Structure 1
Amino acid sequence: MPAPNLITAEDLYQFELITDARIAPDGRTAIGAIQRIDHKTEKKHSNLWLADTQTGKLRQFTYGDWSDSSPRWSPDGRTIAFLSNRADEKQAQIYLIPLDGGEARALTNLKDMSIGSLEWSLDGKQFLCAIRQKDKEAIEREKDEQKKKLGVVARHITTTRYKGDGRGYLPEEKWHLWLVNARSGKAKQLTNGRNDEFESAWSPDGQWVAYASNIQPQPDLTPEMYDLFIIPASGGEPRQLTTPPGYKFALSWSPDGRWLAYLGSDKPGEWWRNTNVWVTAVDGRTPPRNLTAAADLNAVAGSGSDTGGGQMNPPTWSPDSRKLYFQAEYKADICLMSVTLDDEPGVERVIAAHGLVGLFTFDAAHQKVAYTLASQQHPAHLFVRNLTTSKEKQLTRFNGWLKRKSLGQIEEVWFTARDGYPLHGWILTPPDFDPRQQYPSILEIHGGPQTQYDRGFMHEFYYLAAQGYVVYWSNPRGGQGYGEAHCGAIWNNWGSVDLTDVLDWAAFVRQRPYINPQRMGVTGGSYGGYMTVLLIGREPDLFQAAVTQRCVSNLISMWGSSDANWQFQQSIGENKPPYANLEKYWDQSPMKYIGAAKTPTLVIHSEQDLRADQEQGEQVFVALRQKGVDTELVLFPDEPHGLSRDGRTDRRVARLQHIHRWFDKYLK
């Protein structure tokens, strides 16, 4: 029998991933942006591809080693607008290309500006864009070679929202809405001021623009307090709509012009609650309604997969303005759902398949919907579904090389926690699995904690299984996708039932006859790194090796240093700072228990992690070294908190190899 073709760390270079997809107004064609990695330069490039929704024929539409992204069909379906940095790697512009062929034409020639979004007006005459100008100081520095060489002299900071993980120090300039003429490319600023305006939507007649903005006196201290506004597209003063306090995003104006839909919450600071689908009357005569309150669904599309699949778009209206389509997390799936505007809104699942429904768009007649769907066996493909016949067609078949790989088998299980609570988990066995043998195992713990392990493709899990490990993961209480009570179970109480749920999961898997109880490892990132450090301190005899990644270890010292500081204060410290609630922070901190740790532990952290600062990992490393516990620290330069998903590919490969090396050292 030939040796199995196994997943390798270097396979990360082979993936071609869908980052955007849209169906044409006539439903005959779909377009997608496909990202690939240049192994030599370590750069990510993307090009546009076209698919015939009838025949399934797929062809590449744009070419080149640059980034073509955000394709948008013109209302008549004859032209595609997209963003591209083909002329300047650091400055994307809007390009237009005819569907029937020809060269792409640069519509804009914006200088020192970033384009964050673009949407055609329904008459096809202009684009609504979110644009941020470059700081004047940065522009002046670029013009002077000596100043450019010396770099920034000092940063003068007057707000607590001055940095973002993966983005670095944030510019002083804000995101504002602009209108770009679709013929001339001339841009006109529509909104301005000291606040960001990013989330927006056209009115159906093209006369108005709706947007969300935080206009609080100190928005950095109340970051979830957003309001909705409408402003004439011709310019003028905005009018505020009456909505409950809370965060708001993903706006969508109804075809009849009466309603504005959005995603959000009316419980500021209570992040364990669901994001819901809301509608508010544009004329203000009807109070805002939470359409999905009774469904206990989280209307977002976040994914922990390391191969994408969790893209999200705003709710989409039916042509009669009586129904909305939206995405929701539900028991490890990201579902396409619908909800009616009836007095008692009805919620239904539109696509029954398990997996992650990413971006979805309808044709003009609402007879077809194009959507991406990822599964545990494959990264996202593009599909089209006829809503009348329910027939589906797969339009893309990228990453065909996976068919030649031996992945191993995933068993989905439900188990019971010690208090009788039902929990959801998965067990992946190695490709050459023999149930008569015993195997070393690795417990993976997700981040967040307000996320979920989903039915997306996890390259990391298959890679570790290919090295001869049983890999297992679950969704303990504290995460999303299983209702508000599940998510809120550890609010201001990390390391409580979430810890016992993880322990019960490890005990459940440990009972399998093919698990070697003396060869058990544990790893996780972010909150998963937190739980890993907590486990080696509170259960020092359970695991024989651990790898903690981008961990949270000391909730006191992390306060004030994270770009998500306000969220941590609300979810850990009862919305009080450590100096007003010190014991609460310390009791939940893994560093409180590190004195009992004896498990050999590898600490992995990124040097540009602005979510959980590098010192969080360093504290664990130094404490273990002083105790004489075998430990190493691996730091990745220039990388953010999201290294495992979005980092430079050679560093992602090195990260996996370090994890493999450490577990092999102690578990084999």
Structure 2
Amino acid sequence: MTVNKRPITAEDLKKINIVKEPHIAADGEKYVFIQTIVGEDLEYYSHLFVHNLADDLPVQWTFGKVRDHSPRWSPDGSELAFVSNRSGTNQIWMMSAAGGEPRQITELKNGAAEPIWSPDGRFLLFSTPLAANEMLASESDEEHNSNEQNKPVKVEKLKYKSDEKGFHKEKRTQLVLYDIKKEHMEVLTDGDFDHHSADWSPDSRQIVFSANRDENEDRSNTLDLFIIDTETKDIVKLTNSTGVFSMAKWSNTGKKIACFGHELEYKGATLNQVWIIDPLSKERTCMTLKWDVQIGDASIGDIRSSHSNPGPMWSSDEKHIFFTASDHGNTGLYQMDMQGEITSIHEEENHLFGCSYHADLDLFIVGISDPSNPGDLFKIMRKEKGKVRLTDINSSFLKEIHLSIPEPILAKAEDGWEIHGWIMRPANFEEGQRYPMILEIHGGPHAMYANTFFHEFQLLAANGYVVLYTNPRGSHGYGQTFVNACRHDYGGKDYHDLISAVDHVLEHYDFIDEDRLGVTGGSYGGFMTNWIVGHTNRFKAAVTQRSISNWTSFYGVSDIGYFFTEWELGANVFDDPEKLWHHSPIKYAQDINTPLLIMHGEKDYRCPIEQGEQLFITLKYLQKPVVFLRFPEANHELSRSGPPSLRLERLNHMVEWFQEHLHS
């Protein structure tokens, strides 16, 4: 271990600062970003920081025990709108670039989000949840103060809950127009539909947005683009309900719209593409069809729950579109010309997780993380090589700790496919010693382990473990055929990919003790952990997190189960329950002998806790070695954005479980 450096700990969650959401001001001389911390009271706090590019350091603009986010500069740079919970609920606030205290713009009962300035600076567009025929109401209204927790929830739809929002309570996200000068609000959209991902036309007259406004919306998973005229309220549909289209952005002249999307050819495993749409003729052209790469950020880490997606970004002359894409464990920045030729702007072994573009200056402010840094902000000039570091947010923390730097591996699967991954040596590594190893399996399954910072992996390495993590078939980053290859075959070749990677490192690294292997994963990774221990006894300990154990019940209890099960397994409970049962790890419970720790959030609506309960009760009845750990107030995002106190508990219990079973 490096002299004077200590191993990382679970408690270091409180020392890691997270930066995200950079946005450049119109003058190109400054940008704003969000910095999030975990306070000593184990609560999240986030604040606005502004950095003048002529200065060495950014300046903190907001303070207190609050969560500020989603900052947007006014077109003239004089005002900064943002979302804050400082009034108790998320509302739109504004502050002057000249200084002074933030002032509250909205006081809505249901809160407000996603502020977007009109190009002429006259209006602010935002979103808010509303029930049918519900008027905009103040958060101080008597109805808001009533105890809604004890009221029954009336359910009439398939889509009545989500892991992100909980029970929807018949509310839908509507777009609201706020007149800055008149201080007047007007609801633009209506109906039993959600509206989001909006963008203004250059003339400030029209707004393009995404929604599923089909009559059969409750059973449909398509997403269309629409244009609404802010004066007449007329709505025009741009796409034809054949796929999923979002993140639409107008070109500078308003003659074209770029967006991300696909036509569900491979259901949820379909690669995103960049499209250009003529808003008048509605002619739609896929520009990246020949590029076998996932558009957008598919990288997975555990210190940020989501990445702000800039969507497609137009050059000022409309000859190029810029976007992020994920390829072979990296997320980079790319440009495409109008003939579909794609070249890289930033393509390194790291994770570009945020981006803001200034068209007139050809300037990008981006967030970049790698395995040795949780993330900082950098300046990139499109026509210049390299990047310029703007922040060094975690310098003090990083000087304290020893980090294990991942080494890439390339394993051969049984059928010859190449499986990409990484191996990390323990922090106290010494030649000639043999160490236990833990296999980590990501969720999704259509996601991607990447060259990004992962606190959990560093913690396991700090506690004396070799850490192996890979991207088996089903993962993004390796083309359409690869990401689609696990569908209808969960527990098949994807399982063998993981075992092949384990065999590969055991063959090539003599410091791994093959008799002390552990395995863990969450969501799909939890499913695969359950599957592995039901099909082999070579792992001596396992931790399954927010997992799937029984597809026949998952179909009816998950917020996505009724379509995800058919998409991924190719069957439902009516037509082929035998197939669902065949792919259910609980079917093989009698063969599970590996000590198993089951960890599950009680408010997980993606993989509901009954999945963990079923597996625990079955294994306990069979007198198998199993422990069940339930996390109150935690949803599916426990490991990334769950309550900090529970995140610490989760990490500590995981380490203790492996210490007990792999070091005895």
Note if contact 2:411-2:504 (Cα within 8 Å) is conserved in structure 1: yes
Identity %: 30
| 2:59 aligned partner | 59
Note if contact 1:442-1:521 (Cα within 8 Å) is conserved in structure 2: yes
Per-residue CA deviations over 1:413-464 (Å, capped at 9, x if unaligned) read: 1121122111111111112211210001111011111111111110000001
333-342 or 263-272: which moved more? 263-272
| Structure 1 CA distance for aligned equivalents of residues 225 and 115 of structure 2 | 19
Q: Does 1:274 align with 2:271?
A: yes
Shift of 1:481: 1.3
| 1:180 aligned partner | 178
Shift of 1:35: 1.0
After TM superposition, list the pairs within 5 Å mapping 1:35-50 onto structure 2.
Answer: 35-40=36-41, 42-50=42-50
Shift of 1:311: 2.7
149-158 or 194-203: which moved more? 149-158
Shift of 1:149: 4.7
Q: 1:72 to 1:145 in 2, by over 3 A?
A: closer
| 2:81 aligned partner | 81
Of 342, 347, 358 in structure 1, the residue corresponding to residue 342 of structure 2 is: 347
Q: Does 1:306 align with 2:305?
A: no
Note if contact 1:450-1:478 (Cα within 8 Å) is conserved in structure 2: yes
Q: 1:566 to 1:83 in 2, by over 3 A?
A: same
After TM superposition, list the pairs within 5 Å mapping 1:553-632 onto structure 2.
Answer: 553-574=549-570, 576-632=571-627
SS of corresponding position for 1:578:
coil
| Structure 2 CA distance for aligned equivalents of residues 141 and 81 of structure 1 | 19
Note if contact 2:379-2:388 (Cα within 8 Å) is conserved in structure 1: yes
| Structure 1 CA distance for aligned equivalents of residues 568 and 113 of structure 2 | 32
After TM superposition, list the pairs within 5 Å mapping 1:144-155 onto structure 2.
Answer: 148-149=146-147, 151-155=149-153
Note if contact 2:527-2:549 (Cα within 8 Å) is conserved in structure 1: yes
Per-residue CA deviations over 1:32-76 (Å, capped at 9, x if unaligned) read: 111112222x32111111223244332212222212211111222
Note if contact 1:112-1:134 (Cα within 8 Å) is conserved in structure 2: no
| 1:419 aligned partner | 415
Of 376, 380, 388 in structure 2, the residue corresponding to residue 385 of structure 1 is: 380
Q: Does 1:506 align with 2:502?
A: yes
Q: Give, as a single letter, the amino acid of the residue that structure 1 aligns with 2:527.
A: Y
TM-score, normalised relative to structure 2: 0.95
| Structure 1 CA distance for aligned equivalents of residues 127 and 431 of structure 2 | 56
Of 424, 427, 431 in structure 1, the residue corresponding to residue 427 of structure 2 is: 431
Of 391, 409, 412 in structure 2, the residue corresponding to residue 396 of structure 1 is: 391
| Structure 2 CA distance for aligned equivalents of residues 79 and 568 of structure 1 | 43
After TM superposition, list the pairs within 5 Å mapping 1:224-243 onto structure 2.
Answer: 225-243=222-240
| Structure 2 CA distance for aligned equivalents of residues 186 and 43 of structure 1 | 35
Alignment gaps of 5+ in structure 1: none
| 2:118 aligned partner | 121
Q: Give, as a single letter, the amino acid of the residue that structure 1 aligns with 2:151.
A: V
| 1:544 aligned partner | 540
SS of corresponding position for 2:612:
helix
| Structure 1 CA distance for aligned equivalents of residues 436 and 4 of structure 2 | 21
Q: 1:355 to 1:310 in 2, by over 3 A?
A: farther
| 1:639 aligned partner | 634
| 1:368 aligned partner | 363
| 1:211 aligned partner | 209
Note if contact 2:109-2:140 (Cα within 8 Å) is conserved in structure 1: no
Per-residue CA deviations over 1:380-422 (Å, capped at 9, x if unaligned) read: 2111112233352211111221222011232111121122111
Q: 1:38 to 1:419 in 2, by over 3 A?
A: same
| 1:526 aligned partner | 523
Note if contact 1:310-1:357 (Cα within 8 Å) is conserved in structure 2: no
Q: 1:207 to 1:298 in 2, by over 3 A?
A: same
584-593 or 383-392: which moved more? 383-392
Of 235, 242, 246 in structure 2, the residue corresponding to residue 245 of structure 1 is: 242
Per-residue CA deviations over 1:478-524 (Å, capped at 9, x if unaligned) read: 11111110011111111111000011011112222101111111111
Per-residue CA deviations over 1:281-304 (Å, capped at 9, x if unaligned) read: 11116x311111110111121332
SS of corresponding position for 1:432:
coil
Shift of 1:609: 0.9
Q: Give, as a single letter, the amino acid of the residue that structure 2 aligns with 1:181.
A: D
Per-residue CA deviations over 1:115-143 (Å, capped at 9, x if unaligned) read: 22111111111112122237869989996
| 2:101 aligned partner | 103
| 1:220 aligned partner | 218
Q: Give, as a single letter, the amino acid of the residue that structure 2 aligns with 1:232.
A: D
Shift of 1:5: 0.6
Shift of 1:144: 6.3
| Structure 2 CA distance for aligned equivalents of residues 442 and 457 of structure 1 | 17
Shift of 1:229: 1.7
Q: 1:122 to 1:3 in 2, by over 3 A?
A: closer
SS of corresponding position for 1:398:
coil
| 1:5 aligned partner | 6
Q: 1:595 to 1:84 in 2, by over 3 A?
A: same
Count of residues in Structure 1 that have an aligned counterpart in Structure 2: 658
Alignment gaps of 5+ in structure 2: none
| 1:293 aligned partner | 289
Shift of 1:664: 0.7
| Structure 2 CA distance for aligned equivalents of residues 569 and 667 of structure 1 | 35
| 2:259 aligned partner | 262
Note if contact 1:522-1:546 (Cα within 8 Å) is conserved in structure 2: yes
Q: Does 1:283 align with 2:280?
A: yes
Which consecutive aligned stretches of 4+ in structure 1 deviate over 4 angstroms post-superposition? Answer: 1-4, 134-147
Per-residue CA deviations over 1:310-354 (Å, capped at 9, x if unaligned) read: 331221111111211111111111111111222xx1011111222
Computed over aligned residues only, the root mean square deviation of the Cα atoms, in angstroms, reads 2.2
| Structure 2 CA distance for aligned equivalents of residues 556 and 228 of structure 1 | 34
SS of corresponding position for 1:251:
strand
| 1:198 aligned partner | 196
Note if contact 1:303-1:310 (Cα within 8 Å) is conserved in structure 2: no
Note if contact 2:597-2:627 (Cα within 8 Å) is conserved in structure 1: yes
Note if contact 2:552-2:581 (Cα within 8 Å) is conserved in structure 1: yes
